[in-house]
Amino acid sequence: MASNGGSYSNGGSHSNGCLDFNGCSGLSVTIPVGSTFTSPFEDSPRAEDEARKPLSLWPGMYHSPVTYALWEARSRVFDRLYSPNDDAPPQSQLRTRTPFHSRTTILYNFSTDYILREQYRDPWNEVRMGKLLEDLDALASTIAFKHCSDEDSLTRPLLLVTAAVDKMVLKKALSVAVDLKMGGAVIWVGRSSLEIQLEVTQPSFGKSDASEPIALTANFIFVARDSKTGKGAPVNRLSPETEREKLLYKEAEARQESRKQKNVNDRKEIENGEVNRLEALLAEGRIFCDIPALADRDTILLRDTRLENSLICQPQQRNLHCRIFGGFLMHRAFELAFSTAYAFAGMMPCFLEVDHVDFLRPVDVGDFLRFKSCVLFTEFENTDQPLINVEVVAHVTRPELRSSELSNKFYFTFTVCPVAKAQNNGLKIRKVVPATEEEARRILEHKQMVSRSPKTESKKAGFYRV
């Protein structure tokens, strides 16, 4: 390259001490750009290497360091996952696994890895919950894969799909200054479904690693499908060994039976005993609609708490099956829910738990996805810790077909940070009321679901941001 004008000299420094990016010198400047990501595989494909896997078959490049680490850990079997022989027989020889077989643990070295800390830090120097939700989903899918794999290269691998998050409870704030562990195992198995329980532990700041209280628990439900037919496929059996594993199995089995009865019971309760409550909710909302000047100033319509965002699903956000990664959807839904609670309360919210998540249909690359959120209802059982229940629904919208399909439902619970509440003395959390029968039914259905679940430690004792 020439050494005059706006170029670099052979030594790599500019001849006149100033690189002219504005083109005043009349010379064109080309700045090479390289990828800042590493491949989740041991060997990255190169353009000149035709034998390597096509780039289109990689998982997306959006994901977190933990997701990459998990995918790299099982990269040796990716070729069989991505390029299965359609003529190969399905997995038929079911094996019996113990929970120990699928147990997997992740360690976040926040105390020594400052780059990792920066990747997970939120504005309050705590762990960014949206990214943690991504990691939880990725870890749960790895555990499901380990349990269901028959380790036979001559059979078709199963397609494992996240069906729901049954419960996720945050019991203490998570700091980015202290190392954090995330681990879990399969705790229950049905014919074609399995439940995975995850725990996040973190010692208190300044204490030894011997003290690692549980900071978060989560239960994921996965279903297995035949990768060729798409129909439900049987999965390996589970044999709990310890007393704790047997107890977790029984509890998960009871939850499964409860889920089967949920929809029937919800309809019966509304038909038989909830009509009066439905009418009472609507009566409060009609005051806002018909005579707003006389409405209670401590009450607000559900529709006035709404927020919305939308996106086109990009290939960088895909999972191993070339569909949008479920953890990414949870991440986006959480951050919208947090913003909704923040705008509603007028002060900093504190996340308590994920009440429930339903993955109703897959989301594909290129889909136009719309997230809509609202404050579904508030609770004032503990006046010092009002609860804000936020609903987020995601729809796949197809403008060319004039259609919109529900893909996901998310339910989050927040409270308010005590420091923020002290600084906003006199600012009240409003009661939310519906304006339509459809909104009233959504409120009642979710209240019934919450009332049937046991009160968590975060709701009983109160959880506040550290």
From CA 231, how far away is CA 403, in angstroms rounded? 26
> What pLDDT is stored for residue 462 in this prediction?
45
Of 15-19, 76-80, 313-317, 374-378, give the lowest mean pLDDT range: 15-19
* Whether residue 223 has pLDDT greater than 80: yes
pLDDT tens digits along 435-459 = 998 899 899 888 887 766 655 555 5
> What pLDDT is stored for residue 263 in this prediction?
58
From CA 262, how far away is CA 258, in angstroms rounded? 6
> What pLDDT is stored for residue 26 in this prediction?
55
Report residue 31's pLDDT band, with 50, 70 and 90 as the boundaries: low
For range 44-68, the mean pLDDT: 59
37 phi, psi to nearest 5 deg: -105, 155
pLDDT tens digits along 251-272 = 999 988 887 776 555 555 555 5
For range 220-246, the mean pLDDT: 90
> What pLDDT is stored for residue 14 in this prediction?
45
pLDDT tens digits along 340-393 = 999 999 988 999 999 889 999 999 999 999 999 999 999 988 777 899 999 999
Cα 57–Cα 80–Cα 225 angle in degrees, nearest 5: 90
Report residue 9's pLDDT band, with 50, 70 and 90 as the boundaries: very low
> What pLDDT is stored for residue 139 in this prediction?
93
From CA 34, how far away is CA 341, in angstroms rounded? 40
Q: pLDDT: is 193 or 152 the higher one?
A: 193
- Most confidently modeled of 267-276, 295-304, 328-337? 328-337
Three-state secondary structure string covering 171-215:
CCCCECCCCEEEEEEEEEECCCEEEEEEEEECCCCCCCCCCCCEE
Average pLDDT, the chain: 80
Q: pLDDT: is 298 or 367 the higher one?
A: 367
List all residues 6 or more positions away from 321 whose beta carbon is below 8 Å from its beta carbon.
159
> What pLDDT is stored for residue 8 in this prediction?
40
* Whether residue 199 has pLDDT greater than 50: yes
Long-range contacts of 238-241 (CB under 8 A, 24+ apart): 238/96, 238/97, 238/98, 238/99, 238/147, 238/186, 238/187, 238/188, 238/189, 238/194, 239/96, 239/97, 239/98, 240/98, 240/99, 240/187, 241/98, 241/99, 241/100
268: how many CB neighbours lie within 10 A of its CB? 12
- Most confidently modeled of 42-51, 74-83, 120-129, 318-327? 120-129
pLDDT tens digits along 283-296 = 877 787 777 777 77
Q: Are 348 and 414 in contact (CB under 8 A)?
A: no
Q: pLDDT: is 53 or 182 the higher one?
A: 182
> What pLDDT is stored for residue 158 in this prediction?
82
> What pLDDT is stored for residue 425 in this prediction?
67
> What pLDDT is stored for residue 241 in this prediction?
94
- In 3D, which of 236, 45, 275 has the Cα closest to residue 147? 236
- In 3D, which of 175, 64, 185 has the Cα closest to residue 465? 175
- In 3D, which of 459, 380, 444 has the Cα closest to residue 413? 459
Percent of the chain that is helix, strand, coil (3-state, to 5): 35, 25, 40
For range 391-417, the mean pLDDT: 93
Of 25-34, 60-69, 134-143, 155-164, give the lowest mean pLDDT range: 25-34
Q: Are 184 and 199 in contact (CB under 8 A)?
A: yes
> What pLDDT is stored for residue 212 in this prediction?
74
For range 392-413, the mean pLDDT: 94
DSSP β-ladder status, 180-189 and 158-170: unpaired
> What pLDDT is stored for residue 265 in this prediction?
59
> What pLDDT is stored for residue 166 in this prediction?
86
Name residue 196's amino acid.
I
Q: Are 308 and 372 in contact (CB under 8 A)?
A: yes
> What pLDDT is stored for residue 253 in this prediction?
92
Report residue 427's pLDDT band, with 50, 70 and 90 as the boundaries: confident
Please state the separation of Cα 31 from the chain's center in Å: 37
Q: Are 237 and 189 in contact (CB under 8 A)?
A: yes
